[in-house]
């Protein structure tokens, strides 16, 4: 086993609580490829968050992009990712879109509309679902559309959970149109000043939007080969549980971050197992309405 794979496993074990639980249920031949993909995504994310300033981050992200596109010798992790991509016939445009999404995080962030939020969610999380598709054996175009939806749903959950943390970084992902309608002063939100009840109104709406994408992802589980399906069901359940817990706690992200502890994770793993065992017969076709805000992005199904 290569040093890069071992380091990728360590990155996932350290930083990806929910993904780590899900990865335990992947077939062994998929697990290391998934760890390499996660480690690359983490490298891209950390490059943006840990640079001394936005200009440095942009330069470093562009360097990663050049390495991915063969215009510059790749570092070991990028080389390992490229080997996985070549072997699994992965579309490298997904990684490009991920970098574009992370680049949009640099500096102050303020989304005006749902469409801007959804396009961002596609870039930073829907693309991860697309990168996982060839690793776990999803080949169908419709299956990839559902994979986008799972990534979008997870990112919407993350955004609702992290409102307070993101405000501290001068980032507002909740659409301003919705915030203003709920009576939220965006300037006070960026100063992390109260307004919990009003913000909770918007969070409930965004979590309801996430539910539409989770339901679509559920319909798409049939496209995942059985040996990998349970792992993806676990990942979906664990992320969805964060949003459900946030709702139970009043949907107020200004009160602090929402966590799912070990017993809660075990509960949702069991729920995933029940879904895996009880095969659905009522799967619906993909709803193109979910992808209208994403028109023009790779593998969007309209």
Region of poorest pLDDT, from 51-55, 111-115, 294-298 = 51-55
Mean pLDDT score, 181-205? 87
Q: Which two tokens stand for residue 274?
A: 């029940």
The contacts of residue 187 (CB under 8 Å, 6+ apart) are none
pLDDT at residue 1 tops 60: no
Position 21 scores a pLDDT of 63
Q: What is the spatial distance between Cα 116 and Cα 294, in angstroms, rounded to a whole number? A: 9
Q: Tokens 């799967």 sit at which residue?
A: 283
Residue 125: count of CB within 10 angstroms of its CB: 25
Print burial letters for 198-223: b (CB count within 10 Å at least 16), e (below 16): bbbbbbbbbbebbbbbbebbbbbbbb
Question: Which CA distances in Å does 240 have to 169, 182, 237, 259?
Answer: 25, 24, 5, 12
Q: What is the spatial distance between Cα 73 and Cα 46, in angstroms, rounded to a whole number? A: 21
Q: Which has the closest alpha carbon to 37: 106, 92, 101, 104?
A: 92
Q: What pTM value is reported for the model?
A: 0.93
Backbone dihedral region for residue 170 (phi beyond 0: left; psi -120 to 50: alpha; all else: beta): left
Mean pLDDT score, 235-263? 88
pLDDT at residue 282 tops 80: no
Mean pLDDT score, 97-118? 95
Confidence of residue 280 (pLDDT cuts 50, 70, 90): low
Note the Cα 189 to chain centre separation in Å. 24
Q: Which has the closest alpha carbon to 42: 91, 98, 100, 83?
A: 98
* 8 Å CB contact between 20 and 237: no
């Amino acid at each position: 086993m290569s040093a890069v794979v071992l380091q990728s496993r360590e990155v996932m074990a350290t930083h990806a609580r929910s993904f780590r639980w899900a990865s335990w249920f992947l077939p062994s031949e998929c697990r290391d490829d998934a760890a390499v993909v996660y480690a690359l995504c983490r490298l891209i994310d950390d490059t943006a968050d840990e640079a001394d300033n936005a200009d440095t981050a942009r330069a470093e992200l562009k360097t990663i992009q050049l390495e991915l596109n063969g215009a510059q010798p790749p570092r070991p992790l990028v080389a390992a990712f490229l080997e996985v991509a070549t072997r699994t016939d992965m579309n490298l445009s997904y990684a490009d879109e991920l970098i574009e999404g992370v680049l949009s995080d640099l500096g102050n962030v303020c989304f005006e509309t749902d469409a801007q939020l959804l396009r961002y969610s596609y870039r930073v999380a829907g693309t991860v679902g697309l990168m996982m598709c060839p690793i776990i054996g999803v080949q169908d175009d419709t299956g990839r559309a559902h994979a986008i939806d799972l990534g979008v749903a997870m990112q919407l959950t993350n955004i609702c959970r992290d409102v307070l943390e993101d405000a501290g970084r001068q980032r507002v992902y909740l659409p301003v149109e919705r915030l203003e309608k709920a009576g939220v002063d965006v300037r006070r939100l960026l100063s992390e000043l109260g307004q919990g009840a009003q913000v909770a109104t918007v969070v409930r709406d965004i979590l309801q939007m996430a539910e539409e994408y989770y339901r679509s992802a559920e319909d798409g589980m049939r496209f995942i080969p059985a040996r990998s399906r349970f792992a993806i069901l676990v990942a979906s359940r664990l992320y969805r549980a964060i949003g459900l817990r946030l709702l139970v706690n009043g949907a107020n992200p200004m009160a602090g971050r929402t966590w799912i502890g070990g017993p809660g994770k075990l509960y949702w793993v069991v729920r995933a197992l029940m879904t895996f065992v009880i095969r659905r017969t009522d799967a619906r076709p993909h709803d193109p309405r979910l992808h209208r805000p994403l028109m023009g992005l790779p593998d969007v199904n309209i």
